[in-house]
Structure 1
Amino acid sequence: MRLTRRDALAALAAGGSGALAGCSALTESDVWSEGTEDHPVGDHEMATLVAIAEVVYPSAVDGVASFVRTYTGGRVDGDGAYATGVAEAVDALDEYTATFHDERYVALSSADRRETLDYMSVDEAEADPDGAAEQRVRYYLVNELLFAFYRSPTGAGMAGLENPPGYAGGTTSYREAPDR
């Protein structure tokens, strides 16, 4: 299945955080420069988010990079505190990765990326934006990416949730079984 820009916009809209404002101008070709104080999410942070998504999303999904860039661009645009949290979580993940691999997270193979998240215990950590490194990685990176995926029509469909909350389906959606 292929994730699209429409999926990313639907996930942003379903989030209800007002993150969709100004998002219609976002495209896959948007240029993310080096992070700055005003815009701490740059190319490296985006590449890290894509690398994480490639590990935590189902292998049958295509279009991950475009989806993550569009979704994250909409989320960080105008939300400085959230953007700072994402950048700090990426830094924490890179620090942890450098301890074992002497490289940043994005430079690792897919198997090493998965292993790094496992060893960091991200899957067991309680998501906390102000917590320890693994809790912040879970909150800002992993949970946010999974939220975006399962809030999108494509991701929800893969999970058997053809009409997830926030995605209109009308009265027939709960009266009739989905076509399989």
Structure 2
Amino acid sequence: MSVLPTPALAHLPPGEYGSFAAGFSHPLFGLDHILAMVAVGLWASQQGRRALWVVPAAFVALMLAGFGLALLAVPLPAVEPMILASTIVLGLVVAMAVKLDLRLCAALVGLFALFHGHAHGGELGAAGAATFSLGFALATALLHGAGVGLGLLVGRMGPLMGTSGLAVSRGLGALTAGAGLILALG
């Protein structure tokens, strides 16, 4: 637990580091955010084809919409529990290799994205909204890209390790869901 950031050190202050850096760091300093973002990419890689970009793009777009709702002071219920739920549910869909129509995949990740974006809006503080949102959107897209890349890599490397790439990906999903459950209970 000592390697996890403490609340006082969880995010970069925009006055010292700038709004972009504060926004960029926001998803990178929360284990729940990291796990969910990478899971989005892993799930997109399991879906294949157009999902490789549509699913992450839907997440980023609806995350920005959630950020906008927070800026407009439109409340969303249970923001933090929904973020934790996103980690568990996205981990489970990866673990079970759930195949859905692309629109349903985008809708599911988009639902969770609204809550992630709303949380980012609640952390805006003294940061400038435009550069802060650009920072967290870029960091989120990079985490999605890491998940897609990881999913594609294990798909190719799995047979070399004596297993299917899907089995490795599913294992990563199970670990993500388990970590989300631990975060939710702890």
Structure with bigger RCO (C-alpha 8 Å, 6+ apart): 2
| TM-score class normalised by the smaller sequence | under 0.3
TM-score when normalising by structure 1: 0.26
TM-score when normalising by structure 2: 0.26
